[in-house]
């Protein structure tokens, strides 16, 4: 039997959770990730935390990028993380949050298990670099 | 000939054995990770598939193809909703192209599959081509196997119909649905698209558009042209040399029968509102019954197995070829001797392949 070549790709879920309808940022990130050679699954708008969990589990993503501009991150992000834990999918998923997150909340989100929070003004390359460093081929 | 026995589950690595047990036990995370293992071609994945193979063959596998924007995902979503109402579990593999430049991809089919979101009994997996030549169809067929072994009742493979790769993919299905949108050109365009040959069922989606009637009429004409000529444009799935009409009408289609007793129906749907989805579900069931009742089902199973063996063999031989080159000092040295006109490429390849051929023949002799 022959040893096939391994064909790994970094899989990312770019997710919009909750009621805010601003998806330009998510689109820009999705595109940048694609250009970086990642496989990007885009969730579409107005997703409930359970839907994000379902998609992240089924797609077995390496990276979950959550975009929130509504200010509801303190409610939504914990729900997503809790859901991932219940499917035993938290440990091997790199969780990123993007959007408008006040500084005092950032520490709290990181405490919960979010790897990094990217606010307005973050260079796209930094985000891609962060993913390259922390996710993908183990 | 000697039939090799399955590699069995006791050859699995600990990690893969865990995935295997998990999948058979109905663990969705295990299923997701197992598909990743298969997709990544992680060492040992072949053993995993070999062990799973025993548990497959029960699911109804449908391929859905059509041009971008025809409404495939929305249609699949509505169909899935109906299966769920019927308490059937569903697995979906959504294939999207990858960027030829970066190799990356944006897989967006999940967006349209909203009506069953949050329901874990619907397992949606997005796949991209990952730049593998011909390998996508293998990865798709393998993922179908995983869903089948998991115990999904219905499996749907959705793909953009534009080239041979996509045709290969839908051929892993037992029933192929071709989705067309109104105004997609005259019958010559449909012929050119080449996806007409593979359709068991045609769907004209967005049937509330003005041009719908014309598209339906054109499709109907092509389906029936095939019937009367016996070997027309729709001959792909049917025995091409059989021009006689089959007397045993197994289908409730009064329009007459093609060779295998199946006339592809043309169904009108409006996927966004769910109009016509009932009918599509009925046609899918009718085709499944038809395959079970006629010789066509067995014929397709046989052909799928043949295709699979050939594909695996080619892929492994391709890699073996690389190993052989490596053993003989690498392709550069050989190429140099050809470039310097010391020898010719035919003699080089002959010398590389000859020992392989002898070894295979000796092995066959030894068995007999």
| Ranges of each domain in chain B | 1-54, 55-300, 328-367
List of domains in chain A: 11-133 (3.40.50.280)
Query: Looking at the complex, does the CB of residue A123 fall below 8 Å from at least one CB of chain B?
Result: no
Query: Looking at the complex, does the CB of residue B215 fall below 8 Å from at least one CB of chain A?
Result: no
Please name the helix (run of DSSP H) or strand (run of DSSP E) that holds residue A86, with its range, or none. Answer: helix A73-86
Q: Do B104 and A39 touch (CB under 8 A)?
A: yes
pLDDT in tens, A57-84: 999 999 999 999 888 899 999 999 999 9
Q: Do B104 and A40 touch (CB under 8 A)?
A: yes
pLDDT in tens, B4-62: 777 767 778 888 999 999 999 999 999 999 999 998 888 888 899 999 999 998 999 99
pLDDT in tens, B152-180: 999 999 987 655 666 677 778 899 998 98
**Residue from the list A1, A8, A89 with its beta carbon closest to the beta carbon of B40:** A8
Residues 45-84 of A with CB under 8 A from B: 47-48, 50-51, 54-55, 57-60
Assign B255 a pLDDT band (cuts: 50, 70, 90).
very low
Query: Looking at the complex, does the CB of residue A1 fall below 8 Å from at least one CB of chain B?
Result: yes
**Residue from the list B29, B110, B320 with its beta carbon closest to the beta carbon of A41:** B110
From the number of C-beta atoms within 10 Å of its C-beta (0-12, 13-18, 19+), residue B86 rates as exposed
Query: Rounded to whole angstroms, how far apart are CA atoms A126 and B8?
Result: 46
For residue B319, list chain A residues with Cβ-Cβ distance below 8 A.
2-5
CA of A120, closest CA in chain B: separation in Å? 23
Query: Rounded to whole angstroms, how far apart are CA atoms B47 and B9?
Result: 7
Q: Do B28 and A58 touch (CB under 8 A)?
A: yes
Tokens 């891609």 correspond to what residue?
A128
CA of B26, closest CA in chain A: separation in Å? 13
Q: Are β-strands A39-42 and B105-107 bridged in parallel, bridged antiparallel, or unpaired?
A: parallel
Query: Looking at the complex, does the CB of residue A32 fall below 8 Å from at least one CB of chain B?
Result: no
Classify domain B55-300 by CATH number: 3.40.50.300
pLDDT in tens, B133-142: 556 678 888 9
Quick check: B211 and B184 in contact, CB under 8 A?
no
> Which of A5, A58, A93 should we substitute to test contact with B (largest number of B Cβ atoms within 10 Å)?
A58
Q: Do B130 and A60 touch (CB under 8 A)?
A: no
Q: Do B39 and A7 touch (CB under 8 A)?
A: yes
The ipTM, to two decimals, is: 0.87
Q: Do A40 and B106 touch (CB under 8 A)?
A: yes
HSE-up of B237 (CA within 13 Å, CB side)? 35
Q: Do A39 and B42 touch (CB under 8 A)?
A: no
Residue B195 pLDDT = 63
- Give the number of beta-carbon pairs within 8 Å between A and B: 112
Q: Do A42 and B104 touch (CB under 8 A)?
A: no
Q: Do B32 and A58 touch (CB under 8 A)?
A: yes
Q: Do A89 and B29 touch (CB under 8 A)?
A: yes
Query: Rounded to whole angstroms, how far apart are CA atoms B146 and B35?
Result: 7
**Does residue B2 have a pLDDT over 70?**
no
Assign B254 a pLDDT band (cuts: 50, 70, 90).
very low
**Does residue B239 have a pLDDT over 50?**
no
Work out the mean pLDDT of chain B and round it to a whole number: 82
Report the pLDDT averaged over residues A120-138.
85
pLDDT in tens, B273-319: 999 999 999 999 999 999 999 988 898 889 888 988 988 898 889 88
Residue of A nearest to B121 (CA): A54
- pTM listed for this prediction: 0.84
């Amino acid at each position: 039997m022959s040893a096939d070549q391994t064909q790994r790709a970094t899989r990312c879920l770019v997710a919009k959770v909750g009621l805010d309808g601003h998806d330009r940022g998510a689109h820009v990130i999705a595109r940048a990730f694609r250009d970086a050679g990642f496989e990007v699954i885009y969730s579409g708008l107005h997703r409930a935390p359970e839907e994000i969990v379902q998609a992240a589990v089924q797609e077995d993503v390496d990276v979950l990028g959550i975009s929130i501009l509504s200010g509801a991150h303190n409610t939504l992000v914990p729900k997503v993380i809790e859901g991932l834990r219940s499917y035993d999918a938290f440990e091997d998923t790199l969780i990123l949050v993007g959007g408008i997150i006040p500084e005092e909340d950032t520490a709290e989100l990181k405490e919960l298990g979010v790897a990094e929070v990217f606010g307005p003004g973050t260079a796209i390359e930094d985000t891609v670099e962060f993913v390259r460093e922390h996710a993908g081929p183990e | 000939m000697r039939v090799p026995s399955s590699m069995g589950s006791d050859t699995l690595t600990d990690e893969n054995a865990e995935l295997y047990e998990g999948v058979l036990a109905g663990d969705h995370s295990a299923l997701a990770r197992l598909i990743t293992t298969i997709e990544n071609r992680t060492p040992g994945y072949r053993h995993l598939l070999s062990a799973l193979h025993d548990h497959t063959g029960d699911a109804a596998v449908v391929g859905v193809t059509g041009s971008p924007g025809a409404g495939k995902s929305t249609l699949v979503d509505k169909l899935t909703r109906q299966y769920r109402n019927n308490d059937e579990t569903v697995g979906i593999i959504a294939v999207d192209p990858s960027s030829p430049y970066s190799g990356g991809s944006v897989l967006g089919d999940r967006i349209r599959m909203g009506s069953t979101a949050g329901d874990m009994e619907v397992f949606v997996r997005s796949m991209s081509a990952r730049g593998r030549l011909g390998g996508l169809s293998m990865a798709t067929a393998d993922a179908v196997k995983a869903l089948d072994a998991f115990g999904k009742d219905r499996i749907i493979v959705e793909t953009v119909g534009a080239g041979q790769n996509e045709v290969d993919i839908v051929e892993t299905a037992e029933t192929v649905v071709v989705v067309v949108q109104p105004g997609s050109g005259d019958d010559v365009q449909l012929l050119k698209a080449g996806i007409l040959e593979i359709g068991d069922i045609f769907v004209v989606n967005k049937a509330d558009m003005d041009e719908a009637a014309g598209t339906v009429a054109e499709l109907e004409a092509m389906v029936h042209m095939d019937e009367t000529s016996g070997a027309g444009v729709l001959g792909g799935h049917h025995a091409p040399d059989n021009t006689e009409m089959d007397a045993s009408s197994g289908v409730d289609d009064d329009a007459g029968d093609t060779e295998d007793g199946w006339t592809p129906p043309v169904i009108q749907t409006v996927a966004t509102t769910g109009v016509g989805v009932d009918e599509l579900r009925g046609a899918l069931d009718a085709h499944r019954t038809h395959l079970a009742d006629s010789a066509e089902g067995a014929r397709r199973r046989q052909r799928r197995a043949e295709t699979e063996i050939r594909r695996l063999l080619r892929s492994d031989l391709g890699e073996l070829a690389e190993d052989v080159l490596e053993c003989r000092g690498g392709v550069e040295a050989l190429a140099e001797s050809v470039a310097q006109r010391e020898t010719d490429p035919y003699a080089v390849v002959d010398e590389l392949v000859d020992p392989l051929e002898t070894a295979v023949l000796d092995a066959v002799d030894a068995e007999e």
